Structure 1
């Protein structure tokens, strides 16, 4: 066999394994639209995961839903979204990703945190939660962390390795730990 034939064989194998994966998760309740490719993901409660059309979800993505019997607790992904390898989504309230977003590899998006009081042990601190919204046409650079209660405005860019602990307006570039404003990006 020549290398082209072997490559075509593995391409077909990947195509059918993707179709099988989507059918498997749909049986468990996943709602996914046409044209979406789903790699090897982890999701214990796919009935609270909604994926739009023509998305590309790479391998080793972990979708964790904290309140699986609460339909309001869900992860919603818009149309034409790319999610790179090894991302982690931790949802206790709601995570919403708009259309045409590019989420690079090793991103953590977590809508959960802890309070901190002086006379209470760390493990006994109350849990806090707040919705995360990533609007349309957002690019999040690799190894970034998006914390609870954040809204990232339409057309914004997050630099690689950033920690987002406050909301970002539309069409701005932010980067750093914690992230800070870099410049306004004007779209024409």
Structure 2
């Protein structure tokens, strides 16, 4: 095994849970390019790791990444934060990124204001999950994303709503209502989807591209549209089928 192959075999598994074996790359130049990119990312990640509340293993950080309040950040092994992502960690419960989490390019994670206003709750992302490019997670109300969850590009998660009952007071001055958002394990959230406050998306569910999810979604359910409605169910037991049929009949927000 050549030097490039040995370096690749040693370094890549530490920063990628699904790293490509060298023999599937086109040539040694491709492997060298990957190694250089990873090496630079590891170097950029060192200051973030040193400032974090807790970290283990290597951290890969892209160009132009902004991480503030790193003392509220907990990092698992092999976390990757891609170019120009922004993570504002200051929050009551902090930001927790599990093993192998990927934060895509130009993602914004904003639990709190940069200017000293009320701190938000924070964000937890489970192992193996990824957040697609240009996504926005406003974690003012706590956001929990489970294990092996895929968020496509331009996904928006908004765990708060503006209060607007009074007509004699500007909406901006009436404050906000924060409610937790939970996306359980093994979900796929399509490109451009929006998840609103108080929503729980059940394990193994799929949200179609462009959907606006305003109500909670049962496990193993495919939803889409504005507002999101049930499109189909993934395989269930007979008991689960009866329960979901009842939910479909009772809840207009889940009706097909």
How big is the shift at 1:187? 6.0
How big is the shift at 1:132? 0.5
Deviations 1:28-86 (A, max 9, x none): 33211112222132113267211111222221111102279999811000011021111
Q: In structure 2, what is the Cα distance between the partners aligned to 1:38 and 1:160?
A: 23
Partner of 2:162: 114
| 1:57-136 equivalences in 2 (<5 Å) | 57-66=103-112, 73-117=121-165, 118-136=167-185
- Which protein has greater RCO, CA pairs closer than 8 Å, 6+ apart? 1
With 28-37 and 84-93 compared, the bigger mean Cα shift is at 28-37
Q: In structure 2, what is the Cα distance between the partners aligned to 1:142 and 1:74?
A: 23
Structure 2 spans left out of the alignment, 5+ residues: 1-25, 52-69, 238-256
Does the 8 Å contact 1:56/1:83 carry over to 2?
A: yes
1:16 aligns with 2:39: yes
Count of equivalent residues:
186
Counterpart of 1:36 (choices 79, 104, 107) is 79
> Per the alignment, in what secondary structure is the counterpart of residue 91 of structure 1?
coil
Q: TM-score, normalised by structure 2?
A: 0.66
> Per the alignment, in what secondary structure is the counterpart of residue 22 of structure 1?
helix
Return closer, same or farther for 1:71/1:64 CA change in 2, 3 Å cut-off.
Answer: closer
Please identify which structure carries the higher strand content.
1
Structure 1 spans left out of the alignment, 5+ residues: none
Does the 8 Å contact 1:56/1:81 carry over to 2?
A: yes
Q: TM-score, normalised by structure 1?
A: 0.88
How big is the shift at 1:96? 0.4
How big is the shift at 1:175? 0.2
1:173 aligns with 2:196: no
> Per the alignment, in what secondary structure is the counterpart of residue 65 of structure 1?
coil
Does the 8 Å contact 1:109/1:145 carry over to 2?
A: yes
Q: In structure 2, what is the Cα distance between the partners aligned to 1:44 and 1:120?
A: 30
Partner of 1:143: 192
